[in-house]
Amino acid sequence: MALERNCQLAVDLLKRVCERGNWVTDKLREAQELHKQSRFDAATWRFLTLAEAGHEVAQMNVAQLFDNGQSHLLLNSSQPMPVQALEDPRLLGRAFAQRHYELSAEQGNALSELRLGDYAYYGWGLRYESDTQTEELDSLHETWQLSRQDSDFELSLAHYRRTATMRISGEWMQPFVARASFNLGYMYQFGVGVEQDLPLAQRFYGQCAEADPGGVQTPLAIMSAVLHLQNAFADLAAPEVYLMAWSADLRFHILLAHLCAILILVMMRRIFSQRRRNEEANGETTARQAS
């Protein structure tokens, strides 16, 4: 029986075999041991060697070391970077982290895809920007340059959606898939970058609970309670409707007159009580002076 040729599948299988070789496993074990010893730059160098060879776990580890500010291995590099990134070492570290998150996310890593969504949401990292110039012959030449990434909620939603729809193949993925669903629910609940959609937000919160039933449930419970309050207020009529109904109801006018009368009586009682206390105090002063 002849099999259909599938180059992508062949490459994936060959890659799995290569990643289980002695050289790769020894390098990975060495990097993990250095990380346990808090020798982060040395661990980063070992992970980086594997990451540039396409090792997905190493790519994720390199990204996290730069993202958390633990490694400063490449921060003194002389390669050109945007001025905005050079002014902030942490931002420069996140620029290196972003590249390896992207490499890892292309291989289906849920954590890397989730962090790319965070980067787009908060405006971390860099992005490619086209610079189009028109020359004398009216021909367009397009060049690309790196610039600081601004908050891009649409891009953030795309990363979160990809993470939330990933098939969970292990327990390690559950918190990341759940968090992506939670973030989507939050954005739809408050209309961040999208039109507010409370039923859709509730559905994403439900997916969050299903993805990681044993995870942290307190934030989910709080946001669900807020969502129920929003739904309750959304079902209420507009304030103008209530004002028109009250103004047309005679009982409301009678109640308002009673409230005004009570307020006037309370104010008068306070005035007379204060006056009586003043008279008593003056009488005691006069009696002392006479004695």
- For 96-147, the pLDDT digits (tens) are 899 999 999 999 999 999 999 999 999 998 887 665 554 444 454 555 566 7
Cα separation, 143 vs 147, in Å, equals 13
pLDDT of residue 265: 92
Cα separation, 92 vs 67, in Å, equals 9
pLDDT tier at 14, thresholds 50, 70, 90: low
pLDDT tier at 62, thresholds 50, 70, 90: very high
Mean of pLDDT values over 174-196: 95
pLDDT at 18 over 90: no
What are the structure tokens assigned to 24, written together? Answer: 């790769």
pTM for the whole structure: 0.73
pLDDT at 24 over 80: yes
At 215-236, the pLDDT tens digits run 878 899 999 999 989 888 776 6
- Angle formed by the axes of helices 89-106 and 110-122, nearest 10°: 140
pLDDT tier at 243, thresholds 50, 70, 90: confident
Count CA atoms closer than 13 A to 137's CA, side-chain side. Answer: 3
- Between residues 88 and 139, which one has the greater pLDDT? 88
Mean of pLDDT values over 245-262: 84
**Residue among 1, 60, 77, 68 at smallest CA distance from 38:** 68
pLDDT at 8 over 90: no
Q: What percent of the chain has pLDDT over 70?
A: 82
Q: Which residues contact 94 (CB under 8 A, 6 or more apart)?
A: 66, 67, 119, 124, 125
**Residue among 170, 123, 128, 175 at smallest CA distance from 150:** 123
Residue 54 backbone zone (phi > 0: left; psi -120 to 50: alpha; other: beta): left
Query: Alpha helices, DSSP H only, in the chain?
Result: 7-19, 22-36, 40-51, 56-67, 83-86, 89-106, 110-122, 153-164, 174-190, 198-211, 218-235, 239-247, 250-290
**Phi, psi (deg, nearest 5) at residue 128:** -85, 135
What is the average pLDDT score of the chain? 84
Check if the beta carbon of residue 230 is closer than 8 Å to that of residue 241. Answer: no
pLDDT at 245 over 70: yes
pLDDT of residue 84: 47
**Residue among 165, 206, 205 at smallest CA distance from 186:** 205
Cα separation, 28 vs 50, in Å, equals 8
- Find tokens 């021909």 and name the residue: 139
